[in-house]
Structure 1
């Protein structure tokens, strides 16, 4: 008896749908469709209140990971837009599933083909763009009317009314007396000369809830004056609402939203005197203390402004609170959280000199990080994983080659039949279908990697240490300093600095970036301008894959106590 195809269901609702029951509705509809088609539902994936414009969704990511393990044959969804409304993302999902011989089928469109991906993907993308335009227009109308056009400012509470038909009327606000008192206190303290750091520390000691719920910080208070962020820069406190100052866009690589400052001509400014919390004199006193608006130094190229100022900037983490470590004086690093939010949030006030930090980390990077035991286990697992993947690839490639040979053979038989006198019109459609199948199989074979030999050198640790030594030497040479700096930073995941229980020096725990470390141990420095002539570069994808496998199996990561 033929086994039914294994199917999984994917359901999603976004914030515009506003109800959890939508997930259950979609799943029920898909189960009914599966029953009609004779499919066996083996799993269900879902994402709640998440936009379909992003692939940064736990449900869809788990589905794609399980597809790599051949856990199912069909993906069922209510509509193609549930999988994604982004044209590039839906094409990527389709290609990944097709590569694994997984079919996408929806209740509304049926079996999905390239035509659906092109047409529906375009339609869904246009829908998102049109929705954004309509939403922006509606929010602008709210802003012009003096109503909230998104977000909730500290010091206010939202008021929900209903019209005669029972529909909610959104956008009205009122002053929150308790939070308004905190806002006035912050303005008065700052105008009196108290620093944002001291103000934030005092608020945290008194356990006054912060806007984010994670404690008060200096950035919460002073924010960015040009962008109007931060308590001290919010003009709503003087009864002046500024909307559309910023535009938010999604980074296609990370899925994260980033903000961009709009031209001042696009701002929508409305007077809302009923929402005033701060009087004009106090507002001006704060402005006077802030001084003139600082302008950016446009003489410095953007790549230099973004470059880390010290060798390990941005890689250091406080072992006590998980916050970042940054410069607290000309030569010392300390916990930013402890200094910006006070001892009530983090008590780690220990510091470490830049020279000492770099010396200890570089020494550990060269001599301690490539632990022999962890490296031995990795090499063993690497060989096992590569052998498994090669066997899987060989099996899949063999199946594709078999299907291709059958398609060519059947096509040849039809040609022989025509030569024997069978009318061409009777076999035309079949020949076209077989030719299309041949082209598809050849394309899949061109993407399917051929088995490659395992390349692991027994002297990986020695090669690694020698390469790191060369990079450290290059730090002293003006010509190769920047490249060496970036290469060394690329070897580190993070540097954890933990204060000892009874005082003394900070302990340093170094965690290496596994794939980059192993690439270097094979002879590649992995950074532009530093690549050696070696076959190691060809191992990049393999190493990243196996590094991921190691993490899934909880194998020892490459770490070192400094």
Structure 2
């Protein structure tokens, strides 16, 4: 009778066209795979809203590698290759590390074995995952550039004095008065301390409801969006 393998499951979802529910789908498929293989699942590692391009930002992934070094399990189960990595260097570095430790890795939804054909399929799927990631980044940047050309909102927090209406920057009158005063006083040669004191005396507050300080004034005066960029 063969020795029962200790398996762990790794699941991840990123923000690109995925939802948090996809974690449940991945884990369910991996558990069913382990049941059929008669593996004993000892842990489930989950990274939520994390990119596969940079493994350094994935806390659960890195904890899993640390546990692998201490030989806490025998095999890692992923749903698909793109849940592991979308970068060839990261993928094959990870594979080499596991091989050195004598730990296996398998995919619940992709039948990849150690035959020449299986290894060729693995290489192709790794390449497809890397291509998808890079193309997605390119298309996202293209969309952001197009929004910028149209002077549309590109995400983040609009600067003080503006609000967003139908993806367009619209002046927020009360905040705009504070911004105008800041620039007028700075151009007149007043320092940050005097400007902050004047704003407080007139009842102006930051968007967070605080008095203006040197850092907030510095950020406003250095924000290129106020020049129309």
Q: Which TM bucket (shorter chain)?
A: 0.7 to 0.9
* Count of residue correspondences: 220
Q: Conserved in 2, the CA contact under 8 Å of 1:4 and 1:38? A: yes
**Which residue does the alignment assign to 1:153?**
158
**Which residue does the alignment assign to 1:73?**
74
Q: Spell out the pairing of 1:331-370 with structure 2 (5 A cutoff).
A: none
Structure 2 spans left out of the alignment, 5+ residues: none
**Which residue does the alignment assign to 1:287?**
none
Q: Conserved in 1, the CA contact under 8 Å of 2:79 and 2:108? A: yes
Q: Conserved in 2, the CA contact under 8 Å of 1:204 and 1:216? A: no
Q: Spell out the pairing of 1:34-49 with structure 2 (5 A cutoff).
A: 34-49=34-49
**Which residue does the alignment assign to 2:126?**
121
**Which residue does the alignment assign to 1:85?**
86
Structure 1 spans left out of the alignment, 5+ residues: 162-170, 223-229, 243-562
In the TM superposition, what whole-angstrom CA distance separates every residue of 1:15-65 from its partner, at most 9, and x where no partner exists? 113522121221112112211221111101111111111112101100000
Distance 2:113 2:175 in 1: 53
Q: Conserved in 1, the CA contact under 8 Å of 2:12 and 2:23? A: yes
**Which residue does the alignment assign to 1:50?**
50
Q: Which secondary structure state, in structure 2, belongs to the residue aligned with residue 157 of structure 1?
A: strand
Distance 1:197 1:116 in 2: 65
Distance 2:73 2:204 in 1: 52
In the TM superposition, what whole-angstrom CA distance separates every residue of 1:296-352 from its partner, at most 9, and x where no partner exists? xxxxxxxxxxxxxxxxxxxxxxxxxxxxxxxxxxxxxxxxxxxxxxxxxxxxxxxxx
**Which residue does the alignment assign to 1:195?**
191
Which has the greater radius of gyration?
A: 1
Q: Conserved in 2, the CA contact under 8 Å of 1:6 and 1:73? A: yes
Q: Which secondary structure state, in structure 2, belongs to the residue aligned with residue 47 of structure 1?
A: strand
Q: Conserved in 1, the CA contact under 8 Å of 2:7 and 2:75? A: yes
- TM-align CA RMSD: 3.1
Change (3 A) 1:40 1:149: same
**TM-score where L is the length of structure 1:** 0.35
Q: Which secondary structure state, in structure 2, belongs to the residue aligned with residue 23 of structure 1?
A: helix
1:232 to 205, 209, 221: 221
**Which residue does the alignment assign to 1:513?**
none
Distance 1:217 1:110 in 2: 59
Q: Spell out the pairing of 1:360-399 with structure 2 (5 A cutoff).
A: none
Q: Conserved in 2, the CA contact under 8 Å of 1:73 and 1:102? A: yes
**Which residue does the alignment assign to 1:133?**
138
Q: Conserved in 2, the CA contact under 8 Å of 1:91 and 1:117? A: no
**Which residue does the alignment assign to 1:62?**
63
Distance 2:29 2:154 in 1: 36
Distance 2:77 2:199 in 1: 52
Distance 2:180 2:144 in 1: 29
Distance 1:110 1:202 in 2: 69
Change (3 A) 1:187 1:78: same
In the TM superposition, what whole-angstrom CA distance separates every residue of 1:498-517 from its partner, at most 9, and x where no partner exists? xxxxxxxxxxxxxxxxxxxx
Distance 1:37 1:202 in 2: 72
2:179 to 183, 187, 193: 183
Distance 1:221 1:237 in 2: 13
Residue 92 of structure 1 deviates from its aligned partner by 1.2
Distance 2:13 2:195 in 1: 42
Residue 150 of structure 1 deviates from its aligned partner by 3.6
Distance 2:124 2:205 in 1: 54
**TM-score where L is the length of structure 2:** 0.80
Residue 101 of structure 1 deviates from its aligned partner by 1.3
Q: Which secondary structure state, in structure 2, belongs to the residue aligned with residue 110 of structure 1?
A: coil
